[in-house]
Amino acid sequence: MGGAGPVLLGSGVRATVGAYVALTKPRIIELLLVTTIPTMFLADHGVPRLSLVLATLVGGALAAGSANTLNCYLDRDIDAVMKRTGGRPLATGAVTPLAALVFGSVLGALAVGWMLWLVNEPAAWLSLAAILFYVFVYTLGLKRRTPQNIVWGGAAGCMPVLIGWSAVTGSLSWTPLVLFGVIFFWTPPHYWPLSLRFVDDYAAAGVPMLPVVAAPRVVAGKIVAYSWVMVAVSLLLVPVAHTTVVYAVAALVLGAGFLVEAYRLRASLGARPMRLFHGSITYLTLLFVAIAIDPLLPLPHL
């Protein structure tokens, strides 16, 4: 019995830490960082300083964690209703609403302060803008009011490319704006399949995701349309950033694969949507791997 106390205490600490980490939605943070590093390589036309990359990643993770935690705080009522989100810390009571609000706010302040201290002012203010946009524009303004919520609200997920670029250059240009556009038009074809899979959850929570208010064939048609625009914007990077043929081929091949899956979803009238959802993550990851590799290649630029 004498050893039970420390064991239970340790388990309790781990559970509490795990609950707070879960509030930050680590998987989303991973995806955001996947787009940040390649953007920094492209901005540097090579390999940026490791210290700058690490500082930007830490600051970006803090900013994303802040936005996600505050999103959990504001959405705790609908998270408790939906099966997909019923296990989140606020829905289960593992973390109190006040604690989540304080935690999210502190993370945001740390993110901005960290960026100001170790990166630069443009990256810091863009990080703050990303947090405020996700919390106030998407979560409070759009999510419960319009089926266009994920279209315009998805702009928050595009901010890491602007942050990564400005961390290296101290400014913005057309290249990061094109990258912003790739992720902007990628977001609906990425998220709407997930919404198709959990349409009953969103309907029960009163969230007007597109699949809640439109037939599966309509949703699938819009997914195809956004996918075409996404692929076109990804190819626009070739002349704007003067990439090599390697990126151009990668964008064409990956884009073609994405379109095949989008058309397959439309042909099935929305059946098996998670195939496209998972495939979209693979697409974005590999596309940005190509973006990171391209400036390192000793090949002529197009």
In order of their start, the domains of the chain are 21-146 (1.10.357.140), 173-302 (1.20.120.1780)
CB of 239 closer than 8 Å to CB of 297:
no
d(Cα 90, Cα 80) in Å, to the nearest integer? 8
d(Cα 227, Cα 239) in Å, to the nearest integer? 20
CB of 290 closer than 8 Å to CB of 251:
yes
Cα–Cα distances (Å) from 276 to 168, 193, 262, 271, 285, in that order, read 33, 7, 7, 10, 14
d(Cα 104, Cα 75) in Å, to the nearest integer? 13
User: Cα(first)–Cα(last) distance of the chain, in Å?
Assistant: 71
Per-residue pLDDT of the chain (302 residues; tens, 9 = 90+): 445 555 554 567 888 888 999 999 988 888 888 899 999 999 999 999 999 999 999 999 999 999 999 999 999 999 998 888 888 999 999 999 999 999 999 999 999 999 999 999 999 999 999 999 999 999 999 999 999 999 999 899 999 999 999 999 999 999 999 999 999 999 999 999 999 999 998 999 899 999 999 999 999 999 999 999 999 999 999 999 999 999 999 999 999 999 999 999 999 987 889 999 999 999 999 999 999 999 999 888 88
Q: Which has the closest alpha carbon to 234: 247, 220, 219, 221?
A: 247
Query: Tokens 């239970």 correspond to what residue?
Result: 8
What does residue 269 show for φ and ψ, rounded to 5 degrees? 55, 40
CB of 29 closer than 8 Å to CB of 61:
yes
d(Cα 283, Cα 279) in Å, to the nearest integer? 6
pTM, 2 dp? 0.93
Chain centroid, CA 73 distance in Å: 18
d(Cα 108, Cα 95) in Å, to the nearest integer? 18
